[in-house]
Structure 1
Amino acid sequence: MLTIALRTARTRWVTFVGSFLALALGVGLITTMGLGLAATLDAPRRLPERFAQAPVVVKGDDVLRVPVKGGQRTGRIAHPGPVTPELARRLADLGPTTEDRSFPVRPDDGPEQLVGHPWSVAAFAPYTLDAGRAPHSDDEVVTTGWAPTGARIGTDHGPVTVVGTVTERGFEDAVFFTDARAAHLSPAVDQLVVAADPTAVQDAVRALPGGQGAEVRVLTGRDRRYADPDPERDSEALLSVNAVLGTAGGVTGFVSLFVVASTFAFAVAQRRKEFALLRTSGATPGQIRRTVIAEALLLGVAASAAGCLLGAYGAPLFVSSLVDEGLAPRWFTLGDATWPFHLAFWTGLLVALAGAVAASWRAGRVAPAEALREAAFETRIMTPGRGLLGAGLLLVGLGTLAHALLADPSELLHRKTYIGRPMLFIVAFALLSPVLVRPLVRLIAWLPARLPGAGGMLIREYAAAGIRRTAAVAAPVLVTVALAGSLLGTTATLNEAKAAEIRQRTTADHVITAGPGGFDPATIERIRAVPGTEISSTAATTVHVLEEGTALIRSDARAADPRALARTTRLPLTAGSVTDLDDDSVIVTEEWERHTVGSTVEVWLGDGTRKALRIAAVMSIGTGGNGAYVTPANAPGATVDRIDVRVAPATDRRAVGAALAAAAKPAGGRVLTADRWTSENRPGTRRTTRAGLLLVLGIALLYTGIALANTLVMATSDRARDLAVLRLAGATRRQVLRLVAGESLLVVFVGAVAGTLVAALNLLGVRAALGLLHVRSGLVIPWDALTATFAACAAVAVAAAVVPAALSLRRGTVEGAGVRDQ
């Protein structure tokens, strides 16, 4: 059987080249994704940045620790407290201390995210002067190179002169003031650098009266990175990269199995006469099956080895592109893990064997004379097993969709769900494609078949007669179109739903957004004093709640005055009233474990304070971003960052807008009309999510191109006799090639229609979920992406069918029958 497999591979090299390329590419992609995943799992911990040279850093504890049965749960506190004067005095007795402060600086011309620090902390990064000198007076500063020495710059803290620059270190755009000026601009001490023994510092912290030591964190070694701005940004980036690579790897495995299985199935269908001759010469069904499996084994070993080699070269380039695009941290590199190579190789081999199993059973059932008697028109297009499996998967998909809609509609809006769920329907429709293809061909070709001439009729009949060929070509198109429509359509529909929520909730005439640092009380009072206006100022905060006794859930929240909030915002309430909110209550959403108006829920506020609050009102879940609402008393440390403004009737709106802009300008505030604010804050797909979707669709499109080219080259090569008959009937070479191209376009269109049906089914499930979640939004179908996908598939299909047909005609197949070219 191995000898026969080798000879078969040599004589039917077209079939094996396409399968080899598809499988090798799949293994290469799995290797690349696996090496990237290994790098995210084994990535080195981030080193300290701002305090790389600091001995000990003391700061308010920003970790919430909640004891539960069997351990504790932790969360991130949104507003940790500052270092108290009492603690600073105690630590000063142990050794020299340096006070650190961070505050926003808004220059007239410079970086948007500019942060101010006292000059004395610059040495701990370390920042070193590369030009000029240190600041000595209140109007002198040192910058990280974004402004040159000698420049005079206007800021929200007054004009300053740049007297020195330091080398930029990549993690912040900074401006350094004198220590006295920094203390005046930001009195609270954010962090304290202590030049003392860490153990002594720990003892001093624990000795604080009243348990205050539990609210302080002492950082040494690598833990000093927690004193940096946004210390979790690299971890979050790695999680995003991990999710993207995992999803892409899963799709690669799914599509490669699909393509290889489809290729083997079509190859077996084409070789029925060959297998019948082997059966006539005495081969048993088991020997036929072993021949097909031996071919798959040869293909799998060779393609998997080539794919691993391809992945070894491609992974560094892929990781480099992730870093260059800002999707991964600057220090992210490949490690020395070897398990991705083993995973990719054996996955490729198993994919090849799994794709050949079903084909081998079909090959073994060929009777000695069956294929020799079979007509060109295929009468048996669906085996019972394939039909039952396809129908079963379709019922399972519909059943799980219905269950999700009834039990938890919000689950359908999660990324893992809307990426994974289409796979079930894709496989079901692909298995049922032989049944779907013929009626779709008849429907789509109804008009062309009635046009003058025989071309349209011949195209329809050829496609309808060769159902296996038509289904094999349509299947990869179905996969790609269904993925493009489902993934891009779902993200676009969710974005539109979120935008609809924003529009429905905003009843203000103007929205004022703050720059870094938020609005100070003086600015809020200036805005409030503008005649003819009513304002609602809100601040971002968080609340944590312990659900089911074990899960610590964080919810984004906003702090607002309830009466002002009710006049400028329309919350999606399902129970209760906004005006019932007070200092002893909270507004929650229906996704909270406890969400009954009047009941009490225990929460941890943004500064870690534990408090029992009564539920004043309940909001619908919506798309998942409704959060919670508390009063300012329950958001200690939160800074107002948004002000909604209602303008009184019969008031000059232009004059009000100009007055609001003048009042907000000193704090860096932007005054926008409600429509413009809604437009600018229209939700979009995150860069990492978008990159992951494009990667998935790129893989699917690449595989589709390979599958189309492989199947059509195989099919067209076996149709030399059909082409000869057409030439004998009087068709010119151009007419024959137009017929081949038209049939290819028809089959691609059939696959596109079937894929669109799958995408529509998935999108209708998402739209039904949004309706159950009380979100009024339309369904967004990505016609541009679907059209582009169809065009790409059509171009590949036409080229892969026309070129072999043209070569077949030029080799004299037709001329040998006595027909000359016209």
Structure 2
Amino acid sequence: MLSLAWQTVKARTSGFIGAFVAVLCGTALVAACGILMESGFRGGVPTQRYAATDVVVSGDRTVRPPGGDVLAFEHAAEQPAIPAALVGKIAAVPGVRAAVPEQTFPAVVVGQDGQPLADRPSLGHNWQSAVLAPFTLQEGRAPEAAGEVVLDSALAAKANTWAGGEVRITTRSAPVTYRVSGIAATADIPRQAAVFFSEAEASGLAGRPDRVTAIGVLAEPGAHDLAGRLEGVLAADHVTVSTGADRSAAEFDDVSQTKSILAILAGSFGGYAVLVAIFVVASTLALGVEQRRREFALLRAVGATPRQVRKLIGVETTVVSAVAGVLGSLLGIAVSNGLRDAFAKIGVVPADFALTISPIPLVAALLIGVAAARIAAWSASRRPSSISPVEALGEAAVQRRDAGRVRLAIGWVLLGAGLAATTTPLFLRGQLGAAMSVLAALVLITGLSLVGPRVVGAAVRLIAPVLGRTAGVSGYLAAANVRKNSRRLAAAITPLMLAIGFAVVNFYSQTTFTAAVQQETTRSITADHVITGGTGVPVEISAAAREIPGATATSLVRTQVITATETGDGVEVQRRAASGLDASAGGTVDLGVTSGRLADLTAGTVALSAGHASWEGKEVGDTVEFWFADGQPARLRVVATYEHDLAFGDYVLAAADARAHTTAAMDSAVLVDSADVTALRELTSRYPGLRVEDRVAAQEQGDQRTQFLLNLVAVGVILGYVAISVSNTLVMSTAARRREFALLRLVGTGRRQVVRMMRAEAVVTVGLAAVLGTAVAAVPLAVLAIGLTGSPLPAGGVLVYLGVLAGAAVLGVVSIAVSTRLSLRGKPIDTIGTQA
């Protein structure tokens, strides 16, 4: 059977190209997502500041609620500090030569104009931790007293200073003048600038004297499995023990965030990629099997059993998909690197972040590709292998009149489920509601593709008479074709519909959500002025602003919390947007309070969005448990509920509580009402990077823009695959009609008339795909817009929608036109005898 299958593949190479391309591209896409996911766990950048360490102990950023399974966890947004007392505990472990605590905090050397001198992030540390790089003194001495610092040599050159000179440094306050006691250098530390302080001053500037950022461990010569021993000793201390490349995640916050983002993104879009790949591979193989009905009919007529036909199709599919899968898995390496570069350009991934490439995602993608192809082949082979030889020969001449009952039943069920899922944003606001709209659209597309022959058949009964009357002979032929071959037309429409619907719903769900957030934030922030800064606003700014006559000032801290909700089969862990506000925020914000009082929002209390409070069954006076942004557990009393969750998130904390659990320990903005703007600008002029803006929403749009671009890149890759499959399917279905074209020409139809006939069919194909693709996107988008903005129209420019339609139209028309002209190149008398 393998020999026969291989001979068939070689003899009908053109007939298997479509399946080969579908599996190749699908496997490449799945492999790329797998590589990104693995890199989220094992990738990173070269360690710099911890290069001399053997082990780094840092706070554990993984939140695992009790009662959850292995997948019930979430990555904390902020790096948690660890108790300084662990230094002695670690130093006592056999094999440890030294345990060195490190404090890390913002420390920027500024010029006379108040602008940072370094062209890279600048951080302050305690001098004791210099050995971890290691930094060595080039000149001068270590900082010993308050007001003394050691600069790294590159930063000293930027500041044009030397040992004994002076520099101005801003930490979390206005710039202060320090004396440079020494200049230090290390082998290579390109990602950051370092400023070292005395131990006492570093502890004070870090703002947590009993805690440290991390502990670097230097091993005794010949020590083995030191990390394992440390993990055993520190098992109950909620810390992470890192070695090798993992040390960079403890060193660089953006690396830790990147690993989390890649794992989440790859998991999310990897799921979409697998679904789309299975869908495309299945439809392509089904089309290929459908086009070989005459061949299978002949095999049945000469005595082939149903099992032999199914086995032949299965072996052929395995041969083609295995070769395509191997090449596609290797191609996935290039795709993953391209995605990494695209993510780096939009600021999601550091430019020096290295992907981890192992056989695991490549083999997994190969197995998924082959499995999808085999399942699709089994499904497609059931009909041609199960009917009698006489029926097989009869069916080879004309298309089946309708889809199977099981297929139709599944399709109608999916359509009903998709329509039900579109209502989710009416009850579930936020990013999750927008994601459910995309999922609902995919379910609708899948259901519509299954009932496609019925829907397309109904549509062509309306279109065909008009087409036949208005386009002459070519129109009459096109009308007859679409009327009698609605299943073939549905197969051509489905991938185009998928491309249009998927692109439209993904783009406009994001723009609608962003517009809703901006709309609600603009309505909710009532302050006259907003003070913002690039890296944050010092804490004392809000207090200083209140001293301006007639001013009311409120700290605003943008943060996140992690929640755990018990479900029927486990625990669901989620990151949720949150904000920190002062209890005096009433004059500068409007949360839409529905119960309780915002004035009661003090340390140890929390306000919940009304929707989330209802979902959790919480009321004013109840206690709610969650985790802060740095993964520390919280148990706070509910003092109010509010409606404006898009602007402030599901949790509003006291500003002090929110600030204490962020690495920067600064405000995101200060909202000021009824203030003398001149006095306000005079206040902020003493702080580098601060600015005063009038009547702005104060919503940090950078994260939303990054998320939008991130989704755009990922969706663009999937759409690229869909576009390839669209062209692939249309070329296959058109090229399979060579004998039909030859017969038309032999009975007197001119070449131009055949071309015009196919042009008319292309217009019908693209037109129906546009209508159906728009319909499956319009329903979930309209419900999403109603749930978020109150209007049924999604936000975003109409040009994107028109561009999607234009792109789909060009792709469809060109694919059909090119394959038609190629099919007409041969002589009709020669073509009529070829295989279909």
Task: Give the TM-score normalised by structure 1.
Answer: 0.77
Moved more, 292-301 or 164-173: 164-173
Note closer, same or farther for the CA distance 1:547–1:724 as it changes in structure 2 (3 Å cut).
closer
Segments of structure 1 that go 5 or more residues without pairing to the other structure are: 200-212, 649-655, 818-822
Question: 2:228 maps to what in 1?
Answer: none
Note closer, same or farther for the CA distance 1:706–1:804 as it changes in structure 2 (3 Å cut).
closer
Distance in structure 1 (CA, Å) of the matches to 2:219 and 2:812: 70
Distance in structure 1 (CA, Å) of the matches to 2:672 and 2:27: 57
Distance in structure 2 (CA, Å) of the matches to 1:626 and 1:312: 38
Question: 2:134 maps to what in 1?
Answer: 126
Question: Would you say 1:617 and 2:640 are equivalent positions?
Answer: yes
Question: 1:652 maps to what in 2?
Answer: none
Distance in structure 2 (CA, Å) of the matches to 1:537 and 1:517: 11
Question: 2:821 maps to what in 1?
Answer: 806
One-letter amino acid matched to 2:674: V
Question: 2:19 maps to what in 1?
Answer: 19
Residue 618 of structure 2 aligns to a residue whose secondary structure is coil
Distance in structure 1 (CA, Å) of the matches to 2:290 and 2:634: 70
Distance in structure 2 (CA, Å) of the matches to 1:533 and 1:679: 23
Question: 2:598 maps to what in 1?
Answer: 578
Alpha-carbon distance, 1:473 to partner:
0.9
Note closer, same or farther for the CA distance 1:557–1:309 as it changes in structure 2 (3 Å cut).
closer
Distance in structure 1 (CA, Å) of the matches to 2:770 and 2:448: 12
Aligned match for 1:511, one of 520, 530, 535 = 530
Question: 1:651 maps to what in 2?
Answer: none
Question: 1:115 maps to what in 2?
Answer: 123
Question: Would you say 1:702 and 2:708 are equivalent positions?
Answer: no
Alpha-carbon distance, 1:682 to partner:
8.6
Residue 513 of structure 1 aligns to a residue whose secondary structure is strand
Alpha-carbon distance, 1:569 to partner:
0.5
Note closer, same or farther for the CA distance 1:370–1:553 as it changes in structure 2 (3 Å cut).
closer
- Indicate conservation of the 8 Å contact 1:484/1:785, yes or no: no
* Matched residues, number: 779
Alpha-carbon distance, 1:79 to partner:
8.0
Distance in structure 2 (CA, Å) of the matches to 1:339 and 1:215: 32
Moved more, 239-248 or 533-542: 533-542
Distance in structure 1 (CA, Å) of the matches to 2:345 and 2:469: 55
Mapping of residues 556-575 of structure 1, within 5 Å: 557-562=578-583, 564-575=584-595
One-letter amino acid matched to 1:711: S
Mapping of residues 226-375 of structure 1, within 5 Å: 233-311=254-332, 327-328=348-349, 330=352, 332-336=354-358, 338-364=359-385, 368=389
Distance in structure 2 (CA, Å) of the matches to 1:552 and 1:389: 32
CA offset digits 1:151-186 (Å, max 9, x no partner): 377665256798857466144333456789878977
Residue 102 of structure 1 aligns to a residue whose secondary structure is strand
Distance in structure 2 (CA, Å) of the matches to 1:263 and 1:743: 20
Moved more, 171-180 or 584-593: 171-180
Distance in structure 2 (CA, Å) of the matches to 1:723 and 1:195: 81
CA offset digits 1:200-242 (Å, max 9, x no partner): xxxxxxxxxxxxx999999998599999977664343223222
Question: Would you say 1:381 and 2:402 are equivalent positions?
Answer: yes
- Indicate conservation of the 8 Å contact 1:532/1:647, yes or no: yes
Residue 145 of structure 1 aligns to a residue whose secondary structure is helix
Question: 2:223 maps to what in 1?
Answer: none
Note closer, same or farther for the CA distance 1:449–1:683 as it changes in structure 2 (3 Å cut).
farther
Question: Would you say 1:693 and 2:720 are equivalent positions?
Answer: no
Question: 2:734 maps to what in 1?
Answer: 712
Moved more, 281-290 or 464-473: 281-290
Moved more, 415-424 or 258-267: 415-424
Residue 684 of structure 1 aligns to a residue whose secondary structure is helix
Note closer, same or farther for the CA distance 1:760–1:70 as it changes in structure 2 (3 Å cut).
closer
Alpha-carbon distance, 1:16 to partner:
0.8
Question: 2:771 maps to what in 1?
Answer: 753
CA offset digits 1:562-590 (Å, max 9, x no partner): 3x311111103332232344567432234
Aligned match for 1:674, one of 681, 692, 695 = 695
- Indicate conservation of the 8 Å contact 1:587/1:615, yes or no: yes
Distance in structure 2 (CA, Å) of the matches to 1:343 and 1:145: 46
Moved more, 303-312 or 459-468: 303-312
Alpha-carbon distance, 1:795 to partner:
3.4
Aligned match for 1:642, one of 669, 674, 682 = 669
Aligned match for 2:685, one of 665, 690, 701 = 665
One-letter amino acid matched to 2:418: G
Distance in structure 2 (CA, Å) of the matches to 1:796 and 1:198: 62
Moved more, 164-173 or 48-57: 48-57
- Indicate conservation of the 8 Å contact 1:419/1:487, yes or no: yes
CA offset digits 1:120-164 (Å, max 9, x no partner): 644432235689998899698635635635637766525679885
Note closer, same or farther for the CA distance 1:670–1:417 as it changes in structure 2 (3 Å cut).
same
Aligned match for 2:511, one of 479, 492, 503 = 492
Aligned match for 1:534, one of 540, 545, 552 = 552
Question: 1:743 maps to what in 2?
Answer: 761
One-letter amino acid matched to 2:105: S
CA offset digits 1:43-100 (Å, max 9, x no partner): 27988754554799999x898999968999999688869969xx9xx99xx9999985
Distance in structure 1 (CA, Å) of the matches to 2:64 and 2:385: 63
Alpha-carbon distance, 1:296 to partner:
2.5
Distance in structure 1 (CA, Å) of the matches to 2:64 and 2:294: 72
CA offset digits 1:266-304 (Å, max 9, x no partner): 334334444444444444545444443343233334333
Distance in structure 1 (CA, Å) of the matches to 2:245 and 2:323: 50
Distance in structure 2 (CA, Å) of the matches to 1:51 and 1:157: 28
Question: Would you say 1:468 and 2:487 are equivalent positions?
Answer: yes
Distance in structure 1 (CA, Å) of the matches to 2:98 and 2:699: 53
Mapping of residues 410-429 of structure 1, within 5 Å: 410=429, 413=432, 417=436, 420-429=439-448
Distance in structure 2 (CA, Å) of the matches to 1:679 and 1:540: 8
CA offset digits 1:377-404 (Å, max 9, x no partner): 85713232221221122223334555x5
Alpha-carbon distance, 1:511 to partner:
1.0
Residue 401 of structure 2 aligns to a residue whose secondary structure is coil
Question: 2:229 maps to what in 1?
Answer: none
Note closer, same or farther for the CA distance 1:631–1:685 as it changes in structure 2 (3 Å cut).
closer
- Indicate conservation of the 8 Å contact 1:134/1:142, yes or no: no
Question: 1:780 maps to what in 2?
Answer: 795
Distance in structure 2 (CA, Å) of the matches to 1:101 and 1:25: 46
- Indicate conservation of the 8 Å contact 1:58/1:216, yes or no: no
One-letter amino acid matched to 1:794: A
CA offset digits 1:654-674 (Å, max 9, x no partner): xx4343222112123211122
- Indicate conservation of the 8 Å contact 2:57/2:242, yes or no: no
Moved more, 568-577 or 325-334: 325-334
Distance in structure 2 (CA, Å) of the matches to 1:816 and 1:51: 71
One-letter amino acid matched to 2:821: A
Question: Would you say 1:102 and 2:105 are equivalent positions?
Answer: yes
Distance in structure 1 (CA, Å) of the matches to 2:457 and 2:156: 70
- Indicate conservation of the 8 Å contact 1:568/1:644, yes or no: yes
Aligned match for 2:620, one of 569, 589, 597 = 597
Note closer, same or farther for the CA distance 1:398–1:468 as it changes in structure 2 (3 Å cut).
same
CA offset digits 1:1-32 (Å, max 9, x no partner): 66664554344332211111211332333344
CA offset digits 1:585-621 (Å, max 9, x no partner): 4322342535212334567889999987542211248
- Indicate conservation of the 8 Å contact 2:464/2:483, yes or no: no
Residue 736 of structure 2 aligns to a residue whose secondary structure is helix
Alpha-carbon distance, 1:360 to partner:
1.6
